[in-house]
Chains A and B, each alone.
Chain A
Amino acid sequence: MTNTPEKRTLTRRALLQQSAALGAIAVTGAGFIAAPNAAWALEVTAISEHQMVTLLQMARDIYPHDQVADEYYVVAVKGYDSTENKAFVAEGVAKLDALAQQTGAASYVDTKWEDNRVALLKQIEDDAFFQTIRGGLVTGLYNQKAVWPIFGYEGESFSMGGYIHRGFDDINWL
């Protein structure tokens, strides 16, 4: 997956020893976010680990597909780790966390149930922050060719001669 933490030797064990203080999605090291099972890891430079984990959780809550692993959502949001997006992300995440704190949670990602997180997102869904993240996901998530097979979508068929001899009319349950 994307940026493996080679520059700093962060072992899977070291990762797991750090508490998953930022929710179930990921554990963090200094400048790193990684899957609890170490299936992927991402280095952040401009925005904080907490902010990136928040974007990742938002992506999962906005377009939840339980059969789609986190790594595809990471691809869809990692571009927000840039100096030009820093203030925009910081402001959006701070507002979302402040709303979470009114419910007694430490933060949005600390809000345990999806329904409760969705209720927080509903409160910001007209904000430019939410709409930018959501709009970006429409292509950022669903236009990843690696995601298509998970939904059964086969993409182009020209290189295989189309479906004329490969099941364009193979439906068998009508």
Chain B
Amino acid sequence: MAAKFDMNDDSVVVVIGTGAGGGVLSNELAQKGVKVVALEAGGRYLPEDYVNDEWESFGQLAWVDPRTTSGDWRVAKDFSGLPAWIVKAVGGTTTHWAGASLRFQEHEWKAKTTYGDVAGANLLDWPIDAAEMDPYYTKAENKLGVTRTGGRAGLPGNNNYKVFEAGAKALGYENVHTGRMAINSDDNDDRMMCQQTGFCFQGCKWGAKWSAAYTDIPRGEATGNLEVRDHAHVARIVHDKQGKVNGVEYFDKDGNLQLQKARVVCVAGNSFESPRLLLNSASAMFPDGLANSSGMVGKNYMRHMTGSVYAVFDKPVKMWRGTTMAGIIQDEARHDPSRGFVGGYEMETLALGLPFMAAFLNPGAWGRGFTTALDHYENMAGMWLVGEDMPQETNRVTLNTDVKDQWGLPVANVHFSDHPNDIAMREHAYKQGQAVYEAVGATRTFPTPPYPSTHNLGTNRMSAEAKDGVVNKWGRSHDIENLYISDGSQFTTGAAENPTLTIVALAIRQADHIADELAKGNL
């Protein structure tokens, strides 16, 4: 039975956001007997509500509140009001994610040490390492039911994967498989196995893909220690005279401003909303925003080096059938500066339906150069490229006080420009991706530009030294001892891997820490 806490109950931990970070943290704390109020800006949708239609689903789930963009990234031109394709719903972007669940490589925890000084990049080593994270990764893999870990079988390969695998092998790649996916290859943990339906991005109607929406959230509520309030849009975190946070102001579903008192506040609103909230919470005591004595809140925004390669063949592929992200090539994920860049990238199959292919293959393009590609949609295969991008202080989230959201709050402006290392890596990845498909007879290939960001990282980064970041190795604010960051914004660097597994592992670890600190009377 879900709990119900009083607005004036100042013994609760308030978690803002219910995705991979906040949703998992809320459940993990509730399981340990900690009282939690989770505030979620979006509504509640379960598998029976999900819509297997790209635009209709986008309208149901996507975060489309106003944001602005700047910088030389193409998203700022093609999708100026939509810098990210992320979700506003209970469960957050775990409804939309593809399910790829990869651990960081050991050296990626030590980016500065491994890569050395890269001009224009603000590299830093994480204050934690692979050995410390290992048990939490194992817990995260078991929670998510990740295939090819813990004795779980891999998923079968679909048509899109078979083309990709054949090309990879022809090219000499060796580390090619159907991925480590949080999608059941067999019935597991009260969730059924994948039915190869496609539409993984629109919410899995079978529940075969792990999402906090129908796992951690209801399990946390079942403890009686968790209350999830949906349609609760947080406006501001407030603090006492000593500078400790003591409550959260939010607009409820009727548009009324409420104040929930809090013992601890954990922010997990993804890498735009989390820094925006800290900045919008500026006060006389903290004129530059909360947790911002270093000036680092909002800085070092990372979105992964991304891009896609689609290819047309002379025969049908029907890439949309089955798992959207159906396989991976990991040979390029290594750090090998001889390729002309530091860090590495993963190649992962991806399919879009016809409506999204028309929107994203080459945004703004028209005429026969574009339409003859879509004419062969049935004969297309596709992959996504995802690699480590360089943190840069100038890539940042700031408040745009000229534009207000529906609550009258300044919106986030997202400024991003590629680092030369990002560009060199993308060029290499395009070339290799095109080569994979040409090796199996592609008649035409398309180096497709990045979509609105799905991996948003680094705007409240973790650092050993308070001057270098916003939070410490526990995600705890360097400045305010009872304020935590619990999402991907705490990433010090991005690594090459899809971030969700690491966000979940960090949330499990943070829950242990917070429960321990509460028990010791330190919070």
Chain A interface (Cβ < 8 Å from any Cβ of B): 61-65, 67, 118, 125, 134, 138-139, 141-143, 147-148, 151-158, 161-164, 167-171, 173-174
Contacts and interface: CB of A to CB of B under 8 A. Distances in A.
Contacts of B194: 164
A156 B199 contact: yes
B442 to A, nearest CB: 12
A171 B163 contact: yes
Nearest to A148: B354
Contacts of B158: 163, 168-169
Interface string B43-76: 0000000001111000000000000000000000
B195 A171 contact: no
Given A62-B367, A174-B162, 4 more contacts: A153-B377, A156-B53, A162-B195, A169-B157
Nearest to B313: A173
B355 interface: yes
B196 A163 contact: yes
B137 to A, nearest CB: 30
Contact of A162 (B162, B197, B317): B197
Contacts of A155: 52-53, 353
A34 B196 CA distance: 44
Kindly name the residue among A62, A64, A143 whose own CB sees the greatest number of chain B CB atoms within 10 A. Answer: A143
A35 B132 CA distance: 70
B198 A157 contact: yes
B320 interface: yes
B306 to A, nearest CB: 21
B375 A169 contact: no
B359 interface: yes
Contact of A167 (B166, B206, B318, B355): B318
Nearest to A159: B52
B241 interface: no
A65 B371 contact: yes
18 contacts: A61-B367, A62-B367, A63-B370, A134-B364, A134-B366, A142-B359, A153-B377, A153-B378, A155-B52, A162-B198, A162-B322, A163-B196, A163-B197, A164-B196, A168-B159, A168-B322, A169-B158, A174-B440
Contacts of A63: 366, 370-371
Contacts of A169: 156-159, 162, 322
A171 B377 contact: no
Contacts of A148: 354
Query: 4 closest A-B pairs (Cβ-Cβ)?
Result: A152-B378, A162-B197, A162-B195, A156-B52
A46 B63 CA distance: 36
Interface string B339-353: 000000000000001
A85 to B, nearest CB: 20
B473 interface: no
Contacts of A173: 315
B321 interface: yes
Interface string B139-159: 000000000000000001111
A171 B322 contact: no
A8 B325 CA distance: 54
Chain B interface secondary structure, helix, strand, loop or mixed?
loop
Query: Which size class do B's interface residues fall under?
Result: 35 or more
Given A67-B375, A156-B199, A168-B159, A163 B321 contact: yes
Contacts of A118: 367
A125 B198 CA distance: 36
A48 B336 CA distance: 63
Interface in B373-422: 374-375, 377-378
Given A156-B52, A171-B159, A142 B355 contact: yes
Interface in B163-222: 163, 166, 194-199, 205-206
Contact of B371 (A64, A154, A156, A174): A64
Contacts of B163: 171, 174
A174 B440 CA distance: 8
Contacts of A151: 354, 374-375, 377-378
Contacts of B196: 162-164, 168
Contacts of A162: 195-198, 206, 322
B316 interface: yes
B375 A171 contact: no
A87 B129 CA distance: 63
B17 to A, nearest CB: 28
A163 B206 CA distance: 13
A143 B367 CA distance: 18
A157 B321 contact: yes
Given A157-B197, A157-B198, A152 B316 contact: yes
Nearest to B366: A62
A138 B197 contact: no
A64 B316 CA distance: 22
Contact of B358 (A64, A142, A158): A142
Contacts of B378: 151-153
B372 to A, nearest CB: 9
Contact of A142 (B159, B315, B354): B354
A170 B156 CA distance: 12
Contacts of B359: 138-139, 142
A64 B368 contact: yes
Contacts of B315: 173
Contacts of B205: 158
A153 B206 CA distance: 22
